[in-house]
Amino acid sequence: MSGRTAIIVMLVVLVASGAAFAEENERQRPTKKQILEKFDTDGDGKLSESERKAAREAMKKKREENGDGEGRRGGRRRGRAGNR
């Protein structure tokens, strides 16, 4: 393999791994600030009981749509090795 081909292959691998990393970051939980911006309807800087309920329902719906909810937080079981 020539030096030029090796560099091209390395660049392709780097781009592909960067895309995979970006996709993983998109699936992370929203920050507290993002949740407040979206669900703090009265603008008091905190979530009331009804605002929290709306946020929980929206997040549950999103997990179900993504196919990773299945009634569990994060969509995966965590814990002792026997639970895997």
Q: pLDDT (tens digit, 9 = 90+) per residue, 28-64?
A: 778 999 999 999 999 999 999 999 999 999 989 988 9
Question: Any idea where the domains of the chain sit in the sequence?
Answer: 1-29, 31-74
- Residue 13, both tokens: 């691998």
Question: What is the rounded radius of gyration, in angstroms, for the C-alpha atoms of the chain?
Answer: 20
Task: Output the pTM of the full model.
Answer: 0.49
pLDDT at 61: 92
For residues 46-74, one letter each, b for 16 or more C-beta atoms within 10 angstroms of the residue's C-beta and e for the rest, the string is ebeeebeeebeeebeeebeeeeebeeeee
